Structure 1
Amino acid sequence: MTHNHTTELDTLVGSAQHRLDALRETHERLDRIRIRRTSPDNLVTVVADGSGAMVELELAENLRSVAAHALAATITGTAAEAAAAALDQREAILQSLQGSFTDS
């Protein structure tokens, strides 16, 4: 193997390692996504993960005067807001990854 081939191979391996590191970092960042949203009336708090799934639901203690359909609507709306924000954050992270691949 000539010196030129060794240098090309080293460059290729370095590029592959850089991309693998970027993938690992992106995976970790996606796993850490947690978006918390609280309803305007402070009755409901929802936490969504990077897939937009609800991973936590907190309800206020003073729900006696809230109708079930109103509470359901508040939970649904708050969960939708948290999910949308989580998916926006996920998209930004994936765009960053894509940018790092096109830059190298």
Structure 2
Amino acid sequence: MVESMDELIAQVQGQLYRLQDLQEATTGIRVEETSSDGAVTVVVDGAGALVGLDFSGAIRGLSPAEFEQVLVQTAHAALYRAYAERGALVTSFNGSGT
């Protein structure tokens, strides 16, 4: 329980700073994933947006269907890792005080 206005203000400011820290941490997430054959590299941010895409010469050996599969699988792996990182940050935020 809060006993004074100063305590309430300090508590609210602390929560605001924690929320700002969480926002900065999630904004800073960048996950890079490269396919096992090295043909495709995908970079996503903490919101799952594609922020980088690179192809090596190994894509020449892929059929269009194989290329599509490698691209989608690599993007999915990057998204999974980015969302896991974001989830860990949110879990930590939720468990670190009221």
Contact 2:34 2:40 in 1 (8 A): yes
Any gaps of 5 or more consecutive residues in structure 1? none
**Cross-structure match for 2:49:** 53
Partner of 1:15: 11
Q: How does 1:83-98 map to 2 (within 5 A)?
A: 83-98=79-94
Shift of 1:14: 0.6
The unaligned stretches of length 5 or more in structure 2 are: none
Q: Name the amino acid aligned to 2:79.
A: A
Equivalence map 1:1-104=2 (5 Å): 8-100=4-96, 103-104=97-98
CA–CA distance in structure 1, aligned partners of residues 39 and 51 of structure 2: 17
Distance 1:62 1:84 in 2: 24
Count, aligned residues:
97
Q: CA RMSD in A?
A: 1.5
Distance, in Å, in 1 between the alignment partners of 2:34 and 2:59 is 15
Q: Under a length normalisation based on structure 1, what TM-score does the superposition of the two structures give? A: 0.86
SS of the counterpart of 2:31? strand
Q: What is the TM-score of this pair, normalised by structure 2? A: 0.91
Q: Distance in 2 between matches of 1:64 and 1:38?
A: 16
Query: Rg larger in 1 or in 2?
Result: 1
- Structure 1 ranges of 4+ moved more than 6 A: none
TM-fit CA distance, 1:96: 1.4
**1:94 Cα offset (Å):** 0.8
